[in-house]
Structure 1
Amino acid sequence: MFFHVQRLQNEIVPDEPDPAAANALQEGLGGQFGEMRTMMQYLFQSFNFRGATGKPFRDLLYGVGTEEIGHVELIATTIARLVDGSPRYQGNPSDLDEPGAGGATPLSVALSGGNIHHWLVGAQGALPVDAQGDPWTGKYVYDSGNLPLNLLYNLMLESTGRLQKCRLYEMTDNKTARSTIAYLIVRDQAHENAYAKALEKLGVEWNKLLPIPKTSAEKFPEVATLLEKGLQSKQYTFNIDQKNEAAKVFNGPSPSNDGTELSMEQGPQGVEMEIAVERPEEFGPGLDADLMELVQATAEMEMSAPTGEWGAVNG
């Protein structure tokens, strides 16, 4: 089972809309080495895992795979905010802030944006595609059934993903984009450490190789701040019943040779989520007066808090 906490893993810093940056970020979401691929690859390796004696390794894969669900959420939300031209979200006036202002066609901004499908298909939201607009495919997912091979492949995947995110960081100075990119750079390094440490437990030494790439990413201010917090050396279980055994693998000195110790936590604290504002020109959410009245009545209705095996749920 998976539980959803309505918090983003990292703060998305507000800035002006930037459809070009949004389109570039699509590679980090739906590209061959993007977050959708890592999410599906690690989860399928977890689902298909064989051998009870290897449970700590399976639990490590489960933890990283579950975190990647949150990464998909984070980067998709970032893309949506970069495309969204609402002045109720950003502060400084621009051509994107007021669609249709001065008699202009409401969605004319889409014609000069990074990917017209962000407006035409996605209603100013993220899409499950790469930066070229090619759809994400399950053919990206690798699961050999062999633990050492999977760990090697996962290490390569995290390394390549981190390389691409370092390039994405250098492509834009937009604070919204960089806040998310920097966080993912550091968490990719944490996952490199996870798979490298797992390989070490199997007798493979990776100490002198990591981190990959050797880009000195700590020169990026946002990355440096996160590294100072040791985020590159933490891994999360996202496990509610405390049966996760990944700490048997993820422990000891970091393979990055940065002087930190690896540590496991249940999950990150996260930051509050916000729901995007209405986009009338996109007919989203498309609630008419009668539906809005129904929504309001439902919101005001006193409902009892449901309970279950995992405890009370706040209404």
Structure 2
Amino acid sequence: MYLHIQKLINEIATDEPDPGAANALQEGLGGQFGEMRTMMQYLFQSMNFRGDPSSQPYKDLLQAVGTEEISHVELIGTTIARLLDGAPGYTGKPSDPVDKPGAKGATPLSIAKDTGNIHHFLVGAQGALPVDAVGNPWSGSYVYNSGNLVLDLLYNLMLESTGRLQKCRIYEMTDNKAARSTIAYLIVRDQAHENAFAKALESLGVNWGKVLPIPKTNAEAFPEVKKLLDQGLQSVQYTFDAEHASQAAKLYRGASPSGDGTELSTAQMPQGGPPITIAPERREEFAPGLDAELLSLIQATAEIEIEKESS
């Protein structure tokens, strides 16, 4: 079972909308090496896990990382929506007619024709989509679950390494503060997950450093990443286990495989986190939410149903 907290796992910095950056982030969400892939892959590996009781730490580690990836999907999807919401070119007010020209006489959604992904405006009402950066739908065929623990862990290590490499490239594509705050966080957490799978492989006697050398990305050169690395965020893995029964700590401990001089440790869940807020209405998208009359009708209907149930 899963519990949800009305907070994001990391704060999204405030900046101007940027549809181009939003579309680049779509690769990190719905691409072959994106957050939807990692979430589904680790959760399926955990659900399908087989073994005797001594293998419980491996199942728990997969479960923990997969659960964290749900929060990463939430974070990157919310970031994409914020990068699209109120995109430049529309400066209307709630009292304006929906077809009122925007800045310099532009039509309200003119930016959709030549910036980023037009589906963000045509289909998604200025929100994230389950696609990659060129609009290909996310596919369940991305998920690798062989049933062989060593193969799965090797594949997971490669997946995290490739995802981190791509996020470093996305970071270099934009200077938007909102985009970079999320990208930097995911770069560091990808490293934490690399450490998780590398440590698990080492416990199985696999010398992954020779079998699968990971190119150094020098991501610490990015100031937002350096700040998080200095906090040791790359060396802690959350269990998200409400009953403190996870055995993932049996694997995620000792010297970090990253070779950065840190020690690995586990924690139940991240502390703090900014509250999740509801985005404003977007009249130009014909996505105003509930109008007053409809809301009143829903409330009246609910009251009638409550009375029926209590009588």
Distance 1:122 1:191 in 2: 31
Distance 1:265 1:77 in 2: 25
C-alpha distance after superposition, 1:288-307 (max 9, x if no partner): 22123357889xxxx9xxxx
The answer to whether the Cα contact below 8 Å between 2:19 and 2:117 also exists between their aligned partners in 1 is: yes
Counterpart of 2:277 in structure 1 is 274
Count the aligned residue pairs.
Answer: 294
Counterpart of 2:76 in structure 1 is 75
Q: How does 1:1-315 map to 2 (within 5 A)?
A: 1-52=1-52, 53-85=54-86, 94-98=88-92, 100-101=101-102, 104-206=106-208, 212-269=214-271, 270-293=273-296
| TM-score of the aligned structures, taking structure 2 as reference length | 0.89
The answer to whether the Cα contact below 8 Å between 2:65 and 2:193 also exists between their aligned partners in 1 is: yes
The answer to whether the Cα contact below 8 Å between 1:80 and 1:125 also exists between their aligned partners in 2 is: yes
Distance 2:297 2:207 in 1: 61
The answer to whether the Cα contact below 8 Å between 2:89 and 2:106 also exists between their aligned partners in 1 is: no
The answer to whether the Cα contact below 8 Å between 1:189 and 1:211 also exists between their aligned partners in 2 is: no
Query: What is the SS of the residue equivalent to 1:271?
Result: coil
Distance 1:134 1:30 in 2: 8
Distance 1:133 1:240 in 2: 37
Distance 2:298 2:255 in 1: 53
Q: Name the stretch that deviates more: 45-54 or 288-297.
A: 288-297
Query: What is the SS of the residue equivalent to 2:136?
Result: coil
| One-letter code aligned to 2:80 | I
The answer to whether the Cα contact below 8 Å between 1:129 and 1:135 also exists between their aligned partners in 2 is: yes
Distance 1:171 1:211 in 2: 26
Deviation at 1:104, TM superposition (A): 3.9
Q: Structure 2 regions of 5+ residues with no counterpart?
A: 93-99, 307-311
When the two chains are superposed, the root-mean-square deviation of aligned CA atoms in Å is 2.3
The answer to whether the Cα contact below 8 Å between 1:17 and 1:82 also exists between their aligned partners in 2 is: yes
Q: Structure 1 regions of 5+ residues with no counterpart?
A: 87-93, 304-315
Distance 1:42 1:286, change over 3 A: same
Identity of aligned residues (%): 72
The answer to whether the Cα contact below 8 Å between 1:210 and 1:256 also exists between their aligned partners in 2 is: no
| TM-score of the aligned structures, taking structure 1 as reference length | 0.88
